[in-house]
Amino acid sequence: MKNLFKNLVIIILIFLAVSAIFSFFSEKNQKPEKITLSELANRINQEKIDKISVNGQEVSVKLKDGTNAVNQKETEAGLIESLKNLDADTGKLQSVPIEIVSTSTLKYLLISLLPYLIPLLIMGLFLWLMFRQARQGATQAFGFTRSLVRMLTPQDKKQKTTFKDVAGLKEAKEELQEVVEFLKFPAKFKAVGARIPKGVILIGPPGTGKTLLARAVSGEANVPFFHISGSEFVELFVGVGASRVRDTFAQAKKSAPAILFIDELDAIGRHRGAGLGGGHDEREQTLNQILVEMDGFEPDTQVIILAATNRPDILDPALLRPGRFDRRVVLDLPDIGDRVEILKIHSEGKPIEKKVDFRQIAERTPGFSGADLSNLMNEAAILTAKKNLAKMSMEELIPSIEKVLLGPERKSLVFSEKEKKIAAYHEAAHALVNTSLPNTDVVRKISIISRGRAAGYTLKLPTEDKHLRTKTEFVEELAVLLAGYTVEKIVFNELTTGASNDLEQATKLAQRLVMRYGMSEKMGARTFGEQEEMIFLGKEIVTEKDYSDKVAAQIDEEVSKFIETAQKTAHEILTAKRPLLDKLANRLLEKETIEKEEFEKIIKEEE
Ligand code: ADP
Ligand code: MG
Ligand code: ZN
């Protein structure tokens, strides 16, 4: 609307400008001098006239000096008589050619109206253009129903992905090999009456290669790959999501055999109950439409739907019924061997020194996803270029681990001496409590260089991939988390905001111990509260409390107890090892960063 108004103003301005120009020209050139008939007779006598043309009542006179003049003769009487009456010399009058022009009234009207018509026409043209544009905009808005599906054809060699591009994920690949077989040789399966899978859902944390694997399946089977993300389905306009689904499925069916990949399937089922007005109705319709389309497939439709999610718990159970997404493929974070493979895949095309040992990098990156590792290789390449080196070495790779883990260093963030001292003690305390407890991860680095949102950091990494965690580990971790908070009280007898993130993490961890893991003696072996906030179709639940208020009070008490105990542990260690704490903090103030080797040396010296 604002745009329309703006356009209107512009058009009016243009209109005014055009008419100004027109009137200017018509004043100057088209308006000849007006003369009376007697004047004309006079000039004839003076032999100044070149030519006269009569057009109805208008007499146009061309003078010998090149100028023009007009006369509107009032009478119907003939021009020659009138001139003679006004004493024009007959001989001289005869020597002047008189031309009678007969213009039709229409033409006459047109000519006299043209100066006014042209600006009007121009304005009309502008209005027409403007409305056409507005209409186009409108059809674009309604064109939302056309799906946003992107397609990769097997001919797209450059973008082709195969299983070779996916490291690790052995079980997932095996499972999906079946889908590939079906797309390639459907007859084989039909011959033995096997029911063809319709939907396969890929489940795994972000960055584990779900999208990559889905593309690899289409690459292996050599079929078109339709890709749409769940969040794109969800539209503001009611009904659009559903028609988009219809469209997407229609497109895929047209080019069967094909793969239709719905990324972030959970986006359609999310935020139920938390949405503002009508939002979840729309999602429900979209989801229903997906179900309808999947059920509507003829048994021999060769379209297989792959979907990806990292929140299988919030998916509607209706989606997972037989005939829909009845196959689940779970993708885990890569283990150390897979990490080496992923690093190798992503080192392709990057010049790398022979000495580089990917195993070492993999050892230092437990918990990294494939996406993190790919990111790590990219950061290292950027660093190599920044240093103007020809080849990447460990010197570039190792700092990149931290960059991916913690965000870039913020060296420009200036801290006062006092703040630096607090940060130094804070991080030294984390590290000291950590090494003093037997079941914790190894400290890799301590730093008071600001990174991401943290003022400083203590980098700890497990030595191996962990799948199960013990209560002892958690309890020790709590003490490590609270060390920063505790040390501020011990050393500065004051509290700062610097520990707030630690406290948040500690509280959440303690709550999990009590409510999820049954690790509190008093509360016993049960869980408290619904794990997740919602289920999609049918029920609407937001964190259901399945315990009484009395129990809630007990839970709080137990959580507090875990925290208090942890704080006591930290306090004991920090007061008992005060000289070591001071030494570490001072070294940090001096150097800002202490690496693993130096840290271990300082600890050993003291003991
Ligand atoms: P997801 O869809 O599970 O969030 P993606 O498939 O988008 O993850 O993965 C992001 C990127 O991480 C991929 O493009 C790829 O470069 C890299 N990656 C992830 N897993 C692997 C893997 N197993 N092998 C090779 N590269 C991987
Ligand atoms: Mg993805
Ligand atoms: Zn801290």
> Is residue 211 within 8 Å of 337, Cβ to Cβ?
no
> What pLDDT score was predicted for residue 26?
58
Task: Specify the ligand 1 atom closest to the Cα of 165.
Answer: 25
> What pLDDT score was predicted for residue 270?
53
pLDDT-derived band at 2 (thresholds 50, 70, 90) equals: low
CB of 206 shorter than 6 A to ligand 1: yes
Neighbours of 325 (CB within 10 A): 26
Diameter over CA atoms, the chain: 139
Which amino acid, residue 201?
I
Instruction: Let me know how long the chain is.
Output: 607
pLDDT-derived band at 538 (thresholds 50, 70, 90) equals: very low
**547: exposed, middle or buried (C-beta count within 10 Å: 0-12, 13-18, 19+)?**
middle
Taking residues 128-143, report their average pLDDT: 62
pLDDT-derived band at 77 (thresholds 50, 70, 90) equals: low
Separation CA 100–CA 88 (nearest Å): 19
CB of 208 shorter than 6 A to ligand 1: yes
Taking residues 409-434, report their average pLDDT: 87
pLDDT-derived band at 506 (thresholds 50, 70, 90) equals: very high
Task: Specify the ligand 1 atom closest to the Cα of 308.
Answer: 2
Strand 258-263 and strand 303-309: pairing? parallel
**280: exposed, middle or buried (C-beta count within 10 Å: 0-12, 13-18, 19+)?**
buried
Active site residue 395: no
**Residue 297 confidence (pLDDT) above 80:** no
Task: Point out the ligand nearest to the CA of residue 162.
Answer: 1
The protein residue whose alpha carbon is closest to atom 5 in ligand 1 is 209
Ranges of beta strands (E only) in 147-229 are: 150-152, 199-203, 225-229
Q: Which two tokens stand for residue 117?
A: 């018509």
* DSSP single-letter state for residue 352: B
Nearest to 196 by CA among 309, 308, 336, 323: 323
The protein residue whose alpha carbon is closest to atom 6 in ligand 1 is 209
Separation CA 274–CA 280 (nearest Å): 9
For the whole model, what pTM was predicted?
A: 0.65
> What pLDDT score was predicted for residue 534?
43
Q: Which two tokens stand for residue 139?
A: 């059809």
Separation CA 286–CA 281 (nearest Å): 9
Strand 58-63 and strand 98-100: pairing? unpaired
Instruction: Phi first, then psi: give them for residue 310, nearest 5 degrees.
Output: -110, 5
Mutate to test the pocket of ligand 1, among 208, 213, 340 (most ligand atoms within 8 A of CB): 208
Q: Which two tokens stand for residue 556?
A: 């709080």
pLDDT-derived band at 144 (thresholds 50, 70, 90) equals: very low
- Between 516 and 320, residue with greater pLDDT: 516
Separation CA 63–CA 47 (nearest Å): 9
CB of 212 shorter than 6 A to ligand 1: yes
Q: Which two tokens stand for residue 271?
A: 């935020």
**Residue 141 confidence (pLDDT) above 50:** no
pLDDT averaged over the chain?
81
> Is residue 381 within 8 Å of 350, Cβ to Cβ?
yes
Task: Specify the ligand 1 atom closest to the Cα of 331.
Answer: 3
> Is residue 147 within 8 Å of 234, Cβ to Cβ?
no
**Residue 274 confidence (pLDDT) above 60:** no
* DSSP single-letter state for residue 497: G
Taking residues 10-32, report their average pLDDT: 67
Task: Point out the ligand nearest to the CA of residue 430.
Answer: 3
Helix spans in 364-444 (H)? 370-386, 394-406, 417-436
Nearest to 426 by CA among 393, 461, 450, 402: 450
Separation CA 578–CA 111 (nearest Å): 104
CB of 371 shorter than 6 A to ligand 1: yes
**pLDDT tens string 358-391:** 998 988 888 889 999 999 999 999 999 999 999 9
Q: What is the dihedral of CA 134, 135, 141, 146, to 10 degrees?
A: -140
Neighbours of 381 (CB within 10 A): 20
Domains identified in the chain and CATH numbers: 2-105 (3.30.720.210), 150-330 (3.40.50.300), 336-406 (1.10.8.60), 417-606 (1.20.58.760)
Lowest mean per-residue pLDDT among 20-24, 191-195, 299-303: 20-24
Lowest mean per-residue pLDDT among 91-105, 237-251, 310-324, 523-537: 523-537
Separation CA 345–CA 374 (nearest Å): 9
> Is residue 226 within 8 Å of 252, Cβ to Cβ?
yes
Which of the following is catalytic: 284, 293, 402, 427? 427
Lowest mean per-residue pLDDT among 300-304, 441-445, 495-499, 560-564: 300-304
Look at the block and give the residue holding tokens 């024009």.
Answer: 88
Neighbours of 103 (CB within 10 A): 13
Q: How far is the CA of 310 from the centre of ligand 1 (A)?
A: 13
pLDDT-derived band at 429 (thresholds 50, 70, 90) equals: very high
CB of 161 shorter than 6 A to ligand 1: no
**pLDDT tens string 201-248:** 999 888 999 999 999 998 898 888 888 887 776 655 556 667 777 878
CB of 214 shorter than 6 A to ligand 1: no
Q: What is the dihedral of CA 32, 33, 36, 39, to 10 degrees?
A: -120
Return the top range by mean pLDDT from 53-57, 78-82, 511-515: 511-515
> What pLDDT score was predicted for residue 328?
87
Q: How far is the CA of 426 from the centre of ligand 3 (A)?
A: 6
Q: Which two tokens stand for residue 34?
A: 């007006």
Q: Which two tokens stand for residue 374?
A: 């790919």
Nearest to 215 by CA among 162, 167, 172: 162
Task: Point out the ligand nearest to the CA of residue 455.
Answer: 3
CB of 248 shorter than 6 A to ligand 1: no
Separation CA 575–CA 567 (nearest Å): 12
> Is residue 440 within 8 Å of 430, Cβ to Cβ?
no
Separation CA 248–CA 316 (nearest Å): 21
The protein residue whose alpha carbon is closest to atom 7 in ligand 1 is 211
* DSSP single-letter state for residue 22: H
**Residue 539 confidence (pLDDT) above 50:** no
Separation CA 349–CA 68 (nearest Å): 83
Residues with CB under 5 A from ligand 2 (ion): 211
CB of 308 shorter than 6 A to ligand 1: yes
Task: Tell me the sheet residues that pair with 63.
Answer: 49
Helix spans in 75-199 (H)? 79-85, 90-95, 105-142, 170-184, 186-191
> Is residue 454 within 8 Å of 501, Cβ to Cβ?
yes
